Amino acid sequence: MNSALVDASPARPCATPPALPSRLPNVGTTIFTTMSALAQKHGAVNLGQGFPDFAGDPALLEHVAAAMRSGHNQYPPMAGVPALRQAVAQKIARLYGRQYDPDTEVTITAGATQGILTAVLCAVRPGDEVIVLEPCYDSYAPAIELAGGTVVRVALTPRHFRPDFAAIAVAFTPRTRAIIVNTPHNPGAVVWTRAEMQALADLLAPTEVLLIADEVYEHMVFDGQPHVSAACLPELARRAFVISSFGKTFHVTGWKVGHVTAPAALMAEFRKVHQFNVFTVHTPTQHGLAQYLANPEPYLTLPAFYQRKRDHFRAGLQRTRLKAMPSEGTYFQSVDYSAVSALGEADFCRWLTETVGVAAIPLSAFYEDGREQGLVRLCFAKRDETLDEGLARLARL
């Protein structure tokens, strides 16, 4: 070792940094992180943060490992590995009847979160308004604020979380640049019907407003209902960035790989931001996913897989004093706890985690104004043993 490079004095922390006015003054640690940490601290069954506690398909893991071993370890093309973009375009064409050009209309992203941020950054300018439908995923508003846009919040119907098109219509102004729609919906577990997607199309038709369609739970839809993607309707597809996540579909949320599809002119702008945002996404994972997608069975059987878990979980909830709200899609189930406690949602979740040993997420965390509806969200993407242990604890309430 070259001793001239080694500072023999003890390491010290940095001195006071320059003042940095926050770009996101209202942002703290997300509720998902907070509740997972609390669950860990108290040994609670974690039905809070949405992630499976079971492994992904060994075949998928093997495809990725094989890609790594066979040397797919350098930068891929900026937009994503061509085989994966082709597989995504084929899947969308088969399922939703829309042909996206893999060369110009499909981009592989570092999870849906980056897809959403990049779509917002390329679309939204200071002064633009973006409509979000609350309750909504926590990354939407910060993304809009980072772009200098104004968040315009419209509530989905109380406790049922269906779109209220009269209320949405009122929110449009000449400054509206985009609307973000999430179906299947986290946390409401609602799946927009074809009629609702058509109503959205009718509302948008006279405008040039863009649509950011967050469809990360596209393969978790129950009771035979279809997922109606924005890609299905011409009036929506022509203005939409459609976003999905392999993490959700293949039980590998930590991989953070997703995809965005959009008409070429929109995708060209998306890629300008993507190029200097992440440039590219983990190469061997993309090769592995491309191979794995050749078999449609894993995603075609996902609705049945999660429907069984949902039904098992809901049957167990009937033995508790919690009231299960409908769950049409996603891996979430909201419950009304008013028979059990008069606490506010966040306090109830804290109490439930610390005292009963089950972590949940307050619905109020998905609203800017933190409104209370006596509802908390539970995640059933868990092994049956985990669900049963959680249910046994909840039955003591």
For residue 379, state whether it binds ligand PMP (rule: CB under 6 A): no
Q: Whole-angstrom distance between the N-terminal and C-terminal Cα of the chain?
A: 63
Stretch that binds ligand PMP, among 68-76, 97-105, 250-258, 286-294 (CB under 6 A): 250-258
Q: What is the DSSP string of 278-319?
A: TSS--HHHHHHHHHHTT--HHHHSHHHHHHHHHHHHHHHHTT
For residue 364, state whether it binds ligand GLN (rule: CB under 6 A): no
For residue 249, state whether it binds ligand PMP (rule: CB under 6 A): no
Pairing of strands 45-46, 358-359: parallel
258 binds, among ligand GLN, ligand PMP, none (CB under 5 to 8 A by kind): ligand PMP
For residue 52, state whether it binds ligand PMP (rule: CB under 6 A): no
Say which amino acid occupies 278.
V
Which is closer to ligand GLN, CB of 128 or CB of 328? Answer: 328
Contact by Cβ (8 Å): 357, 45 = yes
Q: How far is the CB of 149 from ligand PMP (least distance, A)?
A: 18
283-292 and 58-69 helices cross at what angle (nearest 10)? 130
Which is closer to ligand PMP, CB of 210 or CB of 356? Answer: 210
For residue 229, state whether it binds ligand PMP (rule: CB under 6 A): no
Which is closer to ligand PMP, CB of 138 or CB of 388? Answer: 138
**Phi first, then psi: what are they for 46, rounded to 5°?**
-90, 95
Say which amino acid occupies 8.
A
108: enclosing H helix or E strand: strand 106-109
For residue 165, state whether it binds ligand GLN (rule: CB under 6 A): no
182 binds, among ligand GLN, ligand PMP, none (CB under 5 to 8 A by kind): ligand PMP
For residue 111, state whether it binds ligand PMP (rule: CB under 6 A): yes
All residues at 6 or more sequence positions from 149 whose CB lies less than 8 Å from its CB, including other chains = 120, 124, 125, 126, 127, 128, 129, 130, 177
For residue 334, state whether it binds ligand PMP (rule: CB under 6 A): no
49 binds, among ligand PMP, ligand GLN, none (CB under 5 to 8 A by kind): ligand GLN
Binding mask 197-216 for ligand PMP (x = CB under 6 A): -----------------x-x
For residue 305, state whether it binds ligand GLN (rule: CB under 6 A): no
Which of 114, 118, 186, 261 forms a contact with ligand GLN (CB under 6 A)? Answer: 186
Which of 176, 183, 253, 334 forms a contact with ligand PMP (CB under 6 A)? Answer: 253
Q: Which among 333, 263, 306 has a CA at the least distance from the CA of 47?
A: 333
Place of tokens 């399922």: 95
Q: How far is the CB of 186 from ligand GLN (least distance, A)?
A: 5
Q: Which among 268, 213, 276 has a CA at the least distance from the CA of 239?
A: 213
All residues at 6 or more sequence positions from 75 whose CB lies less than 8 Å from its CB, including other chains = 279, 280, 283
Q: How far is the CB of 189 from ligand GLN (least distance, A)?
A: 11
Pairing of strands 358-359, 361-362: unpaired
Binding mask 36-65 for ligand GLN (x = CB under 6 A): -------------xx---------------
Q: Which of residues 14-33 bind ligand GLN (CB under 6 A)?
A: 30, 32
What letter does residue 221 receive in the DSSP assignment? B
Which is closer to ligand PMP, CB of 113 or CB of 386? Answer: 113
Angle at 101 between CA 208 and CA 287, to 5 degrees: 125
User: Residues in the site for ligand GLN, rule: CB under 6 A?
Assistant: 30, 32, 49-50, 186
User: Residues in the site for ligand PMP, rule: CB under 6 A?
Assistant: 50, 111-113, 137, 182, 186, 214, 216, 245, 247, 253, 256, 258
